Amino acid sequence: MLELLLHIILSAASAIGFSLITNAPHRAAGIIGITGSLSWTAFWVLKTYAHVNILLANMIGALIIGLLAYHLSRKFKLPENIIYIPCLVNLVPGGNAYRTILYMVQNRFIASLEQAITTFLIAAFLAVGLFSAQYLISVVRGIIYFRKSKI
């Protein structure tokens, strides 16, 4: 339980920290913190307790970011990318990228290649999650529009 609390606090802090680096507007800080911590906590709970495949967990984390960014950016009149750029920093596969370089230095090329492929796959699935959020939204909007125009 304490660990879960630590996860929530640290992920919010790191999302807000990245928003400070990229000079995001002041009024967006709270929104960014909530979105970042929700997406990371969902990813971590899925990975640790539900034992979901790490690629699928990453995809769901990115999906949550995409949906929340769409909703909150419309609500608070912010551009969408202000919300999802700082939130995605938690999910970036930094550990795998580091291990790629580390094994390369230690002349363990096969292990290095494995880590490189994992890094690429995780990044690709993050993109898939973001895009499927966009796609879901456009499908829902299309259905609503279609129904209204028929009646």
The nearer residue to other proteins, 5 or 151, going by C-beta atoms, is 5
Please state the closest distance from residue 147 (CB atom) to other proteins, in A: 26
Q: Shortest distance, CB of residue 110 to other proteins, whole angstroms? A: 18
Q: Residue 43 in contact with residue 21, Cβ under 8 Å? A: no
CB of 139 to other proteins, least distance (A): 15
Report which residue type is found at 76.
F
Rounded Cα gap, residues 140 and 136, in angstroms: 6
Instruction: Report in angstroms how near the CB of residue 3 gets to other proteins at its nearest.
Output: 7
Q: Which residues in this chain contact other proteins in the complex, by CB under 8 A?
A: 3, 6-7, 10-11, 13-14, 16-25, 28, 40, 44, 77-79, 81-82, 84-85, 88-90, 92, 94-95, 97-98, 100-102, 104-105, 123, 126-127, 130-131
Q: Which is nearer to other proteins, 89 or 150 (CB)?
A: 89
Alpha carbon distances (Å) from 3 to 10, 11, 50, 53: 10, 12, 16, 21
Residue number with CB closer to other proteins (101 or 117): 101
